[in-house]
Amino acid sequence: MWSPSYSVLPARGLRAAVVLALTAGLATTAPAAAHADARPGPAAKPYMGWSSWSMQSSKYPGLNPDGDYSYLTEANVLKQTDALAAKLKKYGYEYVNIDAGWWRDKTWKPAFDRYARQTPDPVRFPHGMKAVADHIHAKGLKAGIYLPVGLEKEAYGDGRVPIWHADGCTTADIVYGDLRTTNGWDSAYKLDFARPCTQKYVDSQARAVADWGYDFLKLDGVGPGSFKSGDNHDNVADVAAWQQAIAATGRPVHLEISWSLDIGHAADWKKYSNGWRVDTDVECYCNTLVGWENSVDDRFDDTPGWTRHAGPGGWNDLDSLDVGNGAMDGLTKAERQTYATLWAVAKSPLYTGDDLTGLDSYGLSLLTNKEVIAVDQGDTPPARPVTPSDPQQVWAAKNPDGSHTVALFNLADSPAAVTADWSTLGFTGSAAVRDLWNHEDLGTYKNKITEALPAHGSRLFTVTPHGSALHTTGYEAESAGNTLSGNASVADCSVCSGGKKVGNLYLGGKLRFDNVVVDRPGTYLVRVAYVSGDARSVNVSADSGGATRHKFPSTGDWGSVETVSVPVTLKAGANTLTFDSGSDYAPDIDRIDVPASPRR
């Protein structure tokens, strides 16, 4: 039952608190033997659409006049459906997703059918869920619905509730005897898939969703993730069960799982679902829909490690894209564009939580920019940082046609210039630049492009090289000619160049390359290959010069290598180049590659 005690929870986990009220009982856990080849829904590209949650969760005046989270009603969903069809459908937006609360009244009291399955609240949805899906389909759109993972506590019914089409099975036969809890809010009993009745319960839920005509299911509170870990909160089996159950219905249903999923189980999420939330809720649970610092900015640190896991069939979900309503969004124009830019280059699903009946002209231009949508929906791979995760950073991806998608971000609270140097993209010389937000060919730029950006501002380009490949000299971190100090040591690394790396760079550990030779003095953009399961910082210095501290983006785990380019001033001849952990923990270093010429 909903309780005011939700206010003590972190704002970013409040959907958890809401679903603590909204998920006091639901069932979803499946056997690991689920069919790996029966992926629910195609998800050939990130999905696009609208979700109800952002407006449900906001305290913006007028959105929830009948109490918190009261926005979710049949009338409001149909109103947004009609607006989506009229304004955004032709740009690729097609899903209308109903989020948490459709089976609960405005006091959060739940309703279940006689088989322990969620049933719509008759006040919120007087015509039922099938009628809503029928209206959505009549507009040429797809319908989405929401369920929390586990058997909701309120659905247990002293263990005597029968399971649909499962003779002799009751709710006591699908959970652990000790009634251990699960999901991000511990609001449900954990399903026990060693028991034969349990899959039948998930099958019954999937059948209800399919019979109502839904094309999308968001399964929420899934762990490991949702700020929970351990056996009770391991819901991999639930997700597998849902995949199997959906396949058995014969209806293609996109299965999206949420939230803050454990990257250590990325292979499981890819195997059993079509998308996974990589972070906590983007909503601010305040007087607007979102806020820059509430968690929009967090995605810049949290997304890079997930990049390699995204692709056809499953995508990294950054959550709702709320850039269309101006003051209600709670962001500046620059922040709204940056928000949309990151979502596009990361190839996140593009689903807005805005009021589609009240989009302002600027917001509509952001949501309907065909060139930016093409970055998200086309063959462009997901981008990741090619520079450190400093306040000014560059993200890029090489496209199948040889061009590069390049995003410039200024995450500082004041204006600053940001430079994309072609050497960070692997070439030198000239390149043609197209501004995607402004639909403008900017002409040919030699070696780099520099833009003055406002606070939290961005630019998005397609860069087409006309120059030549970058020539570099490589230096291995484990070379006997280097100097290690403190805790630093050489370790085996099967994915690293030369099969080794230098690690244990912590609490004063240092790696010094002792003979870095260049022909000319200047600032060189040195490409650093590194391994770091989380974002870590390191002090970089040359010779006796002062050090600059840079944060290296996460590589996602301790068995993957990525690269960033850092500026280092070198003199002609031999130089030393030092990576110093300082008083913290630094990334492991694989190698460096020094360009033949300094930055120009």
pLDDT, position 572: 97
* Eight-state DSSP code of residue 304: G
Give 250's pLDDT tier (boundaries 50, 70, 90): very high
Give 11's pLDDT tier (boundaries 50, 70, 90): very low
pLDDT, position 59: 97
Better-scored residue on pLDDT, 355 or 36: 355
**DSSP symbols for 245-297:** HHHHHTS--EEEE-SS--GGGHHHHHHH-SEEE-SS--B-SSSSSB-IIIIIT
- What average pLDDT does the chain have? 93
List pLDDT tens digits, range 474-510: 999 999 999 999 999 999 999 999 999 999 999 999 9
Across-strand partners of 475? 592
Task: Give the residue from 308, 349, 98 showing the smallest Cα distance to 209.
Answer: 98
Helix 333-345 × helix 370-377 angle, to 10°: 30
List pLDDT tens digits, range 512-532: 999 999 999 999 999 999 999
CA distance 193 to 28: 10
pLDDT, position 294: 80
CA distance 71 to 59: 10
pLDDT, position 474: 98
Helices (H), 183-264: 196-212, 236-249
Token pair in block for residue 338: 């940056």
Across-strand partners of 562? 530
Q: How would you class 293 by CB atoms within 10 Å of its CB: exposed for 0-12, middle for 13-18, buried for 19 or more?
A: exposed
Q: What is the pTM of this model?
A: 0.93
Q: Is the pLDDT of residue 555 over 60?
A: yes
Percent of the chain residues past pLDDT 70, beyond the cut:
93
Task: Give the residue from 448, 410, 442, 406 showing the smallest Cα distance to 427.
Answer: 448
Pairing of the two strands 404-410 and 562-570: unpaired
Token pair in block for residue 516: 């870095």
List pLDDT tens digits, range 15-58: 444 444 443 333 333 333 333 344 444 699 999 999 999 999 99
List pLDDT tens digits, range 151-203: 999 999 999 999 999 999 999 999 999 999 999 999 999 999 999 999 999 99
pLDDT, position 424: 97
List pLDDT tens digits, range 50-83: 999 999 999 999 999 999 999 999 999 999 999 9
Give 90's pLDDT tier (boundaries 50, 70, 90): very high
Across-strand partners of 431? 445, 465
How far, in Å, are 420, 430, 431 from residue 445 at the CA level?
11, 5, 5
Q: Is the pLDDT of residue 13 over 90?
A: no
pLDDT, position 600: 86
pLDDT, position 129: 98
CA distance 137 to 433: 41
Average pLDDT estimate for 252-264: 97
List pLDDT tens digits, range 304-354: 999 999 999 999 999 999 999 999 999 999 999 999 999 999 999 999 999
CB 527 within 8 A of CB 425: no
Task: Tally the C-alpha atoms within 13 A of residue 346's C-alpha that lie toward its C-beta.
Answer: 27
CA distance 495 to 413: 38
